[in-house]
Amino acid sequence: MTLGILAALHDEVDGLIAAMRHDNARATVHRIGMRDYYVGELYGERCVLVLARVGKVAAAATTVTLIREFGVTELVFTGLAGGVGPEVRVGDLVIADRTVQHDMDARPLFPRHLVPLLGHAEFPTDPTLTGALRTAADRFVREDLATAVPAAVRERFGVDAPRLHLGMIGSGDQFIGAPATVAELRQRLPDLLAVEMEGAAVGQVCHEYGVPHAVIRTVSDRADDSAHVDFSSFLAQVASHYSEGIVRRLLSARREGG
């Protein structure tokens, strides 16, 4: 069993890479398609870590490489998202039970959101892996957050009592940062909780290859006209700790259970 872990931005995966290199002297790096794939043990489990970069094409290409070149048997995507659901706040965690490409539109040849010739608009995540990820996120928030992210940082960003949400995540090749765009997305996809730029591409590839996957996102903004404010600071000071801490919890629990 090999778990593939990918993210779009450096701060979302760098802490995990550092942990693998620190704990596993035999970790190797493979350069394929302008990406570095780190292979080794992470918290006692065999993993491949990679920075996918931003966007659906980048995520899909990286996912195919993880499956075909490294034989990963499961995938987890971690990173940031903009909150769209009315109850989703900055600092919350959204775990996908399914993903959709909100910018897929081949009308009139195919219905909106439907991936042409595949017959699917939504891509369910794996229930078992998603459940384990949800448990890991819950334990991180309850037991680790206070020490992982300093109180002053949590106060600055208003991250007091993060909540976990399970539901639809939408992916598209655009940064959502306008209230009018959010309103249109909510009308078109009423169940949508968060938006990002990669998860549904990973979901489609995993569906086509029959590989279980899960997607977890830290909400960095409300996808409105202030979405760009302090994005980099939130990523470095908050979200990076979420990613490392939750994956550590996930892998530790799998090792203890297995």
Give the position of tokens 């539109």: 105
Q: DSSP E strands: which ranges in 68-191?
A: 74-83, 93-101, 122-124, 164-171
Which of 97, 198, 221, 244 does the annotation list as catalytic? 221
Question: For this structure, is 12 an active site residue?
Answer: yes
- Number of Cβ within 10 Å of residue 140's Cβ equals 24
Q: Is 195 exposed, middle or buried (0-12, 13-18, 19+ CB in 10 A)?
A: buried
Angle CA 91–222–87, to nearest 5: 70
For residue 219, CA distances in Å to 107, 116, 159, 238 come to: 31, 30, 10, 10
Question: For this structure, is 126 an active site residue?
Answer: no
Which of 12, 196, 198, 244 does the annotation list as catalytic? 12
For residue 70, CA distances in Å to 46, 66, 73, 76, 243 come to: 11, 5, 9, 15, 22
The two three-digit tokens of residue 14, written as one number? 């760098």
Q: Which residues are catalytic?
A: 12, 221
